[in-house]
Amino acid sequence: MQYKTINIATMLLLLFVSAIASASSRDVEDEDRMLNAKCIGCHYNVTPGIVKQHLDSPMANAHNQEDEVVCHDCHGEGHTTNTDYSKAEMPTADVCGECHKKQFKQYRSGKHNLAWMAQKTQIAWHNQPKSIVGQGYRGCSGCHKLGKKGLLGVSQGNMDAELKYDGGKEESEYRYGNAQCDACHTRHTFRKDEANDPRACSNCHMGFDHPQWEMFTSSKHGVIWGIENQGGDTDGRAPTCQTCHMVDGNHNVSTPWGFLGLRIPTKDNVLALIDVAPSLKEPLTKLAALLPTGHFDDLDDNPQWTFDRAIILQAAGILDASLQPTKRFVEIVVQGRAARGPDEFNKLRRDMKKTCNECHSNQYVNDFFKASDDTIQQADHRFAQAIQAVQGLYRDGILQKPEGWEYAPDLLQYYDAKTNIEQELYLIMLEYRQRTFQGAFHASNDYMHWYGWAPLNTAVNNILEEAGQLRAEHEAKNSH
């Protein structure tokens, strides 16, 4: 669809003329038009770019003229002069939702809606300057503002499985950045074709711990997308982010493995561990009682993998020293939905395969997923070895738990970790392991291997060596 550029002077003239011409019959609509003409008339000088973008937008050129969206539909009627602009309202996603119920509902039930809450579950988040994690939007908060503010989890004293809402308190503390929907449909054109272009995802899904943009553009899918200038065309030869993650325009985004490549173990997974580690029978039985039943369709559930995953969860403070779920388990896994149980995992996986099957055979796709799942298993095993080495240093008093830390090692301290060896551990968690499996799933061989698996192994080997050295130094010191 093409929208013609509207001559602003003509537009204004038309608005005034039509307002005066039909003054008696349609009062409400006319008041609307008058007010809109006022906003536009003044903002034509104050913020000409915004006026132009708005007038060119699909919403200002609605198919049915009576549906035309005007400035004060989103900003309210409180501000009309050069000085009272602090009375202009800034829309939240709920304002968009009044007219776009379907997308709004899907969005609310998906992962994007949880993005604001998710950043707060991280221990490191609490130690950073507000400009980075709060009002300034210059770091974590800049990307995570596409989540809804005011969702209350364990950190705010809510121990229920469901998040609670503060009724708008947190949103009211932020003048800007509550609109959520403008992450992909940027203001003031709010276009569908912009959001359908994979570049619309790239400002957030890039870089250190989630380079999906780089992985996509270095996969054959992305290469074809580039060569064929596909842009936001969803019927092209190459699948885009949206083809795979927003099927039929569904605004509820969620993947089986999620950001961290984790999943909730089943009862059977955990009970099977008892055969391998009989001494842990009691805590494992206790843990199993809390877990879902079922089976992960595609996955190899050998006890070694369950064990490796338990070690990782322990190092993230999600399971405690005796393998029981902590408050972080409730906040990150249950409320923040960072990992899925078998039912949800299997359904999401089936849907994803169906999408691949539009262009590839069943067999081809099954092979692909089997190999990609396996990369997580392999990475987890090496990661767990490194974690155990560091856990051993704490257990034997070679490293001391830093003041104020609840767990040590603690992966969620990120770059605030106090020792070199734990800095390496953090890089494995957020950079190398992520790239290993995310690269595999996005068919980017270079990311999977040279930016993922290779440095992961280097880091594990370094950690094992350094742990040995720290031990030797400790013993040498103690023998004097």
Q: Minimal distance in Å, beta carbon 293 to ligand HEC? A: 21
Selected from 15, 37, 111, 410, the binder of ligand HEC by CB under 6 A is: 111
Beta bridge partners of 165: 151
Q: Is 182 in the site for ligand HEC (CB under 6 A)?
A: yes
Q: Which residue has the tokens 């992985």?
A: 215
Measured CA angle at 273 (ends 268, 279), to 5 deg: 135
Measured on CA atoms in the order 309, 314, 315, 321, is the torsion positive or negative?
negative
> Which token pair is 8?
């602003």
| Owner of token pair 């995570």 | 144
Residue 180 or 399: the one with the smaller Cβ distance to ligand HEC is 180
| Rg from Cα positions in the chain | 26
Cα–Cα distances (Å) from 124 to 129, 315, 334, 426, in that order, read 11, 14, 20, 12
Nearer to ligand HEC, 114 or 323 (CB): 114
Does 143 bind ligand HEC (CB under 6 A)? Our answer is yes
Q: How far apart are the two ends of the chain, measured CA to CA in Å?
A: 81
Considering the rule CB under 6 A, would residue 148 count as an interface residue with ligand HEC? no
The residue from 153, 212, 264, 318 that contacts ligand HEC (CB under 6 A) is 212
Candidates 13, 46, 159, 277; binder of ligand HEC (CB under 6 A) is 46
Other beta carbons within 10 Å of 160: 12
Please say which residue, 347 or 360, places its beta carbon nearer to ligand HEC.
360
Q: Is 389 in the site for ligand HEC (CB under 6 A)?
A: no
Which member of 256, 265, 317, 452 binds ligand HEC (CB under 6 A)?
Answer: 256
Q: Does 180 help bind ligand HEC (rule: CB under 6 A)? A: yes
- Site pattern 339..358 for ligand HEC (x: CB under 6 A): ----------x--x--xx-x
**Distance of alpha carbon 440 from alpha carbon 374, whole angstroms:** 10
Task: Give the whole-angstrom CA distance, residue 388 versus residue 187.
Answer: 49
Interaction with ligand HEC in 51-110: which residues (CB under 6 A)?
A: 51, 54, 58-59, 62-63, 67, 69, 71-75, 77, 79-82, 85, 88, 90-91, 93, 95-100, 103-104, 107
| Shortest Å distance, C-beta 199 to ligand HEC | 8
- When asked if residue 121 is in the footprint of ligand HEC (CB under 6 A), the reply is yes
How far apart (Å, rounded) are the C-alpha atoms in residues 209 and 260? Answer: 9
Residues 262-321 that bind ligand HEC (CB under 6 A): none
CB nearer to ligand HEC: pick between 80 and 462: 80
Mark the segment that binds ligand HEC (CB under 6 A) among 21-29, 49-57, 318-326, 454-462: 49-57
Q: Where are the alpha helices (DSSP H) in 228-325?
A: 241-245, 267-276, 281-289, 303-315
Euclidean distance between CA atoms 94 and 100, whole angstroms: 9
Min separation Cβ 209 and ligand HEC, Å: 7
Site string for ligand HEC, 418-447 (x = CB under 6 A): --------------------x--xxx----
Among residue numbers 393 through 412, which ones bind ligand HEC (CB under 6 A)? Answer: none
Figure out which of the listed residues 26, 210, 449, 474 binds ligand HEC, where binding follows CB under 6 A.
Answer: 210
> Please, is 280 exposed, middle or buried when counting C-beta atoms within 10 Å of its C-beta (0-12, 13-18, 19+)?
middle
Residue 413 interacts with ligand HEC (CB under 6 A)? no
User: At a CB cut-off of 8 Å and minimum separation 6, what does 204 contact?
Assistant: 143, 146, 183
* CB of 189 or CB of 273, closer to ligand HEC: 189
Amino acid, single-letter form, for residue 329:
F
**Which residue from 218, 230, 254, 269 is in contact with ligand HEC, where contact means CB under 6 A?**
254
